[in-house]
Amino acid sequence: MEFNKVVRGPKRESNTEESVYDILDAGFLCHVAFQHHGQTMMIPTAYGRKGDNIYVHGSTKNFMMNNMIDGQTVCIAVTHLDGIVLARSLFDTSANYRSVVLFGKAVLIEDEEERMESLKIITDNIIKGRWDEVPIGSANELKATMVVKFTIEKASAKIRNEGPKGDEEIDVEVWSGHIPLVMKAMEPVMDPKFGKEYEMTDSVKNYWEANK
């Protein structure tokens, strides 16, 4: 079976490059599945994307990333939950969502210029502009950080964005429909430990304004 073939719900398949990129760029949290001595494992982590490459970072002792770069095929998944779909029967109850499953291999980034660019890509994917507002880290902290580049070889995207389906013949007079869900930013809370009020930086203000 092809890794990127949608078997269940093929009408929701949306395997265009644009759809895959849109889903990936709408968030910054993914789940990485890999094998360790025959045991399948999955760990969540932050990511950034540029082209067909997904970047993740962590400690040089990071268990997940050291397994990712051993030559195995890695699976990465991203999902955005957009709503709860409530039909006239429990069987037809569903959810609205956007999801993508990626398959490919990962390598350790050793070139220092590429490594720093990759860290900026990850940072900007979480909150654009923060990279230029605060120090990156000490030399020892950067030395203890590894960055891994995962190249997308195959991708499978699925999207559902409609109301209930399949309950047209259910003869029960009960409310049915869908409940839209969104992730929004609440008002930023300043860290009080420095004992002084600071004005919000542009990256924080821009993110809040765009997502509140």
200 domain residue, yes or no:
no
CATH code assigned at 131: 2.30.110.10
In eight-state DSSP terms, residue 13 is B
206 domain residue, yes or no:
no
Instruction: Tell me the pLDDT band of 119, cut-offs 50, 70 and 90.
Output: very high
pLDDT higher than 50, residue 140: yes
Considering its fold, how many domains does the chain have in total?
Answer: 1
50 domain residue, yes or no:
yes
Instruction: Tell me the pLDDT band of 1, cut-offs 50, 70 and 90.
Output: very low
b/e per residue 3-25 (b: at least 16 CB within 10 A): ebebeeeeebbbeeeebbbebbe
1 domain residue, yes or no:
no
pLDDT higher than 90, residue 6: no
69 domain residue, yes or no:
yes
Q: What is the pLDDT of residues 30-70, one digit of tens each?
A: 999 999 999 999 999 999 999 999 999 999 999 999 999 99
Can you read off the two tokens belonging to residue 208? Answer: 């809040």
Domain residue limits at 107: 10-181
| pTM listed for this prediction | 0.89
User: What is the C-alpha separation between 48 and 46, in angstroms, rounded?
Assistant: 7
Which pLDDT does position 12 carry in this prediction? 55
205 domain residue, yes or no:
no
